[in-house]
Structure 1
Amino acid sequence: MYATLHAFTRGLHEEHLQEISLLFEQRQALRLKPDFNWLEVADIEERIEAHLDALLIGGELALEVSRRAASEGDFGEIFGAIVLFCRQQQAPLLAEALRMMDFKDPKKQFALAMALRKALPTPWASFVEQALTQGDARLIPVLAAVSGHLRLPHGAALLAALRRSPEHALPVIEALGRLREASAEPVLRAALQGPDAEVSDAADLALWRMGRGQPDMPATPLTLAVAGGPATATALRQRVEAGHASPEEILALGILGHPPAWRALYDCLGQPELAEVAAIALQWSTGADLQADVFVPEEVDEQALFKDELQAWQQYKQAPVRLDGQPFGEVVNKPVTDPVAWQQWFEANAARFDRRLRYHKGRPCAPATWVASLQSPRGDARVRRYAALEMEIRYGCPVRFEVDMDVIQQRHALRAMEDWSRKEGARFQPGHWYLHGAASE
């Protein structure tokens, strides 16, 4: 009987880890959807917590099952096992899991980082710091991410990690930016001139987060959007008018929200390759709710076609259809790109905008504007990232916020942002330009 009960209980623990894995994968898949509603994952996260609670009360057998999953399981099971080790403060089991980790698998590395971000015990922060300087170099990307997202004061250790493993520059520089590590400024300025564009972009953002950005330094569309002033908006508008702007720069104009640029964005509606991104940028600025349901056909996978379907596709570009004769695909809500619709909207609404100010979703920009954007269930994931950086870089809001935190953590942070905005918001005139808490030109 004991052996049967033992096997049954073991099976339950294995099922809990398997369910955690499925839910973790669902959470990540939802976050990649273009129309992602950040509140949608709350139910998934609550279900993950329920399975974790079951493992927490599972005693030694649950730890034994999780120990095996940490070395042999998929990335979702690794996530569940590492969270359990952290919540039980089982340092030897975590150390063993790290030794067995396949760091060549980016999914497993990501799962490890997310688990440590979620559940790292406060007393273990010193071990993270020590591992950055002396531990297995393969851990540096994960530990850098954890240090940065949790705002652990590991600036010196991160710089030491960068010196001994320069191949991990990107996650280390991103972490230094989140920590606003002032002593990293020389390293970041050197990285700006390096050959790796991704590292250079990360260094650019890090310097602006630290308050060390300068108008003459290289800038990405992201930093132009969250740190630029009227001159930046004018320069980007001129690039759009000259036909030189990238889609990312057009979106940056949408975040800058400067009415003098809207004509240039409107003109892009007539260019098929830029129409959708221009409509998105206009909506971000104006708040015009010009949306329409559009059928998006499913991409044809030739390897999945039957012989006659493949022949029809290759010869006539005739895609396969459903039994009812309708093409495969889905209806997606997208911004309207029809110039006539936008012209009519501007004719009815242009008078309520002041060309000297900046706007987001039709409201003059202020801390409360960006907090509302972060709270909105319909908030575009890109806008939410911009909004969080606006609060940090333009207004100096000290609240830690990451767009991929658990929903319960985001809600807590947003309440803190609201409180900060009510107390400090009066210092900022709506629609005016700011940088690091001070007026900018």
Structure 2
Amino acid sequence: MDVRVPAIISQAVDQHAEEAPFLWLLRDGAVVAPHYSLVDLTKLDNRVEAHLDGLRIAGDAGWAACDKQLQYQEPGEVFAAAVLALESGEAAWIRRVYEVVGAAPETQRGLVSAFGWVDRAWWRGEVRDLLVAESPFWRRLGLAAAATQRVDPGPVLLESLQAESPMLRATALRVAGSLGRTDLLPVLQAQLTSDDDAVRFSAAWAATLLGDRGAALRQALAFVEADHPRFAAPALGVALRALPPSEGQQWLGHFARQPQTLRHAVVVCGILGDPVNIPWLLEQMGIPEIARVAGESFTLITGVDLAEEELEGEWPEGFAAGPTENPEDTGVAMDPDEDLPWPEAALVAAWWTRHQAAFRSGQRYLLGRPLAPEHLQWVLGHGMQRQRVAAALERKLLSPGEPLFETRARGNAQQQGLGLPIQGA
């Protein structure tokens, strides 16, 4: 019996070291998913935390299990190991995590997420060291780590905004925007003409959030117009919210007239929130390729839950989205609308006929109510993740000098910040 107990304990610790990264990977997708609420996110976070706690209790054995998982060089494994290392303060453990991130830079988001997970008192010294690192790569991680908990990195932010490294500048630009550093707006605007796409986009995104309604907006819209594979969608989310509604309607018409930007037009309907666009949106629900995102925009305006109100339809026969099982099919892109309900256009139209009198054309709505600070606060607490992202952007545009609400933070911390009771235990 004495021989078997350690083996059983070892298996349990190994399971914690395997499950924590797996659940973090689920969480990494959940923070931008259309079907996760803040309570859902908190429940998932508690599952992650339960496995991390098992590793903490195991002490050195917990670290050894995480260290073994680091051989796979994946972000989730880096996250779990980094949480243990940062909380322990063990220099050798932290150095081991850094070695893996340095060898596999694609794992860096796991490290940044760990900085956002742990109490800032445990990482203050580590972040400070990263912020003064000679390598632009590590300084970038220091900036990103500080921003996860909306901590101003101090003078190093201005230095990084003027750094030679484009990647460092791009990160610094986004951090400045997220923190509400309106005093740095002229520095950000100077980067709008950069030759580097990431720098130019980050400058446009951040400067728009900080109040620029001129050159920054035009640059953001240029990324949308070009249908940039990385930056079109986030540029659209900021620029169309910042434009005057009349100009937003003009852009909607422009996108709708071009087949390659029709999806943008459908998304813009939800962003603008004007019920005047709903009849056109209902028509788009008959096009399989954009039906589900049209349903999402309809919900973003009206607040109706298509599944709860039984307004869902069936998957169209013969329609395929995302990769298939056909070995000759070269398409590998995942279905971007996988987690969205399929609207039954006729049922949705009937619902709109019954309820449209409650909406006024020319008014911007979000989840069925006019945009107002108190409603945005409600959406941040009770909406789904994509809806919460929308509310965070709207609130930031109303108050450029305030930090952008972090919808990716730990669920219980978000609930506390919003003054809500902790739910999801």
Matches within 5 A, 1:16-415: 16-31=16-31, 34-67=34-67, 69-70=69-70, 74-106=74-106, 108-119=107-118, 121-122=120-121, 124-162=123-161, 163-214=163-214, 217-218=217-218, 219=220, 220-239=235-254, 242-243=257-258, 246-266=262-282, 268-269=284-285, 273-290=289-306, 291-295=311-315, 299-303=323-327, 333-338=341-346, 341=347, 343-376=349-382, 379=384, 381-395=385-399, 398=402, 401-415=405-419
- The alpha-carbon distance between structure 1 residues 366 and 183, as it changes in their structure 2 partners (threshold 3 A), is closer
Please state how far the C-alpha of 1:29 moved relative to its aligned partner: 4.9
What amino acid is aligned across from residue 191 of structure 1 in structure 2? Q
Q: Which has the higher contact order (CA 8 A, sep 6+)?
A: 2
Residue by residue over 1:123-181, the C-alpha shift from the partner in whole angstroms, topping out at 9 and shown as x without a partner, is: 64354244233343332443232122211211531343451422344333222211223
CA–CA distance in structure 2, aligned partners of residues 183 and 331 of structure 1:
40
Deviation at 1:193, TM superposition (A): 2.4
TM-score, normalised to structure 1's length?
0.74
Report the Cα offset of residue 221 of structure 1: 1.8
**Matched residue type, 2:207:** L
1:417-436 matched pairs, under 5 angstroms: none
Residue identity in the other structure for 1:248: H
Query: Which segment is superposed worse, 96-105 or 17-26?
Result: 96-105
Q: Is the 8 A contact 1:13 1:62 kept in 2?
A: yes
What is aligned with 2:225? none
1:388–1:401 Cα contact (<8 Å) kept: yes
Over 3 Å counting, the alpha-carbon distance change for 1:396 and 1:138 in structure 2 is closer
In structure 1, what residue type is equivalent to 2:177? G
The TM-score, its normalising length taken from structure 2, stands at: 0.76
Change (3 A) 1:101 1:280: closer
Q: In structure 2, do the counterparts of structure 1 residues 345 and 148 end up closer, same or farther at CA, with 3 Å as the change threshold?
A: same
In structure 2, the gaps of 5 or more residues are 221-234, 330-337
Q: For residues 273 and 240 of structure 2, what CA distance do their matches in structure 1 show?
A: 9
- Please state how far the C-alpha of 1:397 moved relative to its aligned partner: 9.0
1:268 to 1:129, Cα distance in 2 relative to 1, 3 A:
same
Change (3 A) 1:57 1:139: same
Q: Which amino acid aligns with 1:292?
A: E
Root-mean-square deviation (CA), in Å?
3.7
| 3-12 vs 366-375, which moves further | 3-12
Displacement of 1:83 in angstroms is 0.6
Paired residues, what number? 389
Which blocks of at least 5 consecutive residues in structure 1 are unaligned?
304-309, 314-329, 418-441
**Superposed displacement of residue 393, structure 1:** 1.8
- State how far apart, in whole Å, the 1-side matches of 2:358 and 2:21 are: 50
Bigger radius of gyration among the two: 1
For 1:414, the aligned partner's letter is L
More strand per residue: 1 or 2?
A: 1
CA distance, structure 2, for counterparts of residue 332 and residue 131 of structure 1? 40
How far apart are residue 334 of structure 1 and its match? 1.8
